[in-house]
Amino acid sequence: MNTMLTMIKINNMKSEFNYWVEVRCNVGWPEGNYTEEHYEFDTKKKALTFARQMDNQADTHVHNVYDYETVQRTYDPIDITHEI
């Protein structure tokens, strides 16, 4: 279900290319369950700043940060999660 939601959101991106942050929040019961939220930013700096802030919160994990701007397409982005 989460993968389908991700695909729908990515396919509905604006005409300009941006940066996406996927945040997962642990809901705790049963073990391993989490919610998944996606956020879109117009600059790399804003995306990475947000990702760093979210990664420091309890029960929250930044799963990935994607760069669609550099590749100029809505698929196969560059994973820049390591830059957090």
pLDDT digits (tens, 9 = 90+) for 4-13: 444 445 555 5
Domain residue spans in the chain? Answer: 2-10+17-83
Side-chain half-sphere CA neighbours of 45 within 13 A? 0
What are the pLDDT digits (tens) for 34-77? 899 999 999 999 999 999 999 998 889 999 999 999 999 889 99
- Reduced to 3 states (helix: H, G, I; strand: E, B; else coil), residue 45 is helix
**Is a pLDDT exceeding 60 seen at residue 15?**
no
- Reduced to 3 states (helix: H, G, I; strand: E, B; else coil), residue 16 is coil
Which token pair is 43?
């600059």
Query: Which residue has tokens 């590749």?
Result: 71
CB count in 10 Å sphere of residue 8: 9
Residues 44, 50: contact at Cβ < 8 Å? no
